[in-house]
Amino acid sequence: MKRFRRPVQILLWVIALYHISLGLLLIFSGDLSIRVADTLYGWTIAGSPELGIVGEILGCYSIAFGLMMATAAGDPVRYRPLLTVGIVLIALRLFQRAFFAGKVMEVFQVSSGRYWSAFLFVLAIGGALTWARLLVHQEAPELAA
């Protein structure tokens, strides 16, 4: 993995920074996060105090996931189980997005094209993280010797 170490670390840092930024946005700027959701995902969201609180809670989880990926970026071989947790989380997100697609598109008034484009983006991130985990797995036996 030595030749792939830097690309794996870059991937993990991109995932980490995205999730930390998103989490901070959800916690500290409800109005801006609504505009970002519209710009990135095409979602139409009517803000409410309840939604703001739920967004803040989700923001904490997003930051925690980002910190987990940042930790893994520091030493992907040592922290390879965190990559596995990341893959599981992304798989759950993809399942949720596929299973509730119709409901989400209706509630947030998002077109199917925008919705499935975002789905494919998450799928690509999951595929890249799976690729990274496989590369890390190849180096792991070398460490045990």
| Residue 105 included in any domain | yes
d(CA 57, CA 144): 40
Q: Cα-Cα-Cα-Cα dihedral of 124, 6, 133, 76, to 10°?
A: -130
Which runs of E-coded beta strand occur in the chain?
none
Decide: 76 and 132 in contact? Cβ < 8 Å: yes
| Residue 145 included in any domain | no
Query: For residue 95, what are the domain limits?
Result: 5-140
| Residue 121 included in any domain | yes
Per-residue pLDDT of the chain (145 residues; tens, 9 = 90+): 577 889 999 999 999 999 999 999 989 887 788 888 888 888 888 877 888 888 899 999 999 999 999 999 999 999 999 999 999 999 999 999 999 999 999 998 999 999 999 999 999 999 999 999 999 888 766 554 4
d(CA 27, CA 53): 8
| Residue 68 included in any domain | yes
| Residue 61 included in any domain | yes
For Cα atoms 60, 24, 125, give the angle at the middle one, nearest 5 degrees: 80
What does the pLDDT read at residue 145? 44
How many structural domains are present in the chain?
1
| Residue 104 included in any domain | yes
Contacts of 133 (CB under 8 A, 6+ apart): 80, 83, 84, 87
What does the pLDDT read at residue 115? 94
Where do we find the tokens 């959701």?
37
Q: Judging by beta carbons within 10 Å of its beta carbon (0-12, 13-18, 19+), is residue 94 exposed, middle or buried?
A: middle
User: What pTM value is reported for the model?
Assistant: 0.86
What does the pLDDT read at residue 46? 82
What does the pLDDT read at residue 143? 55
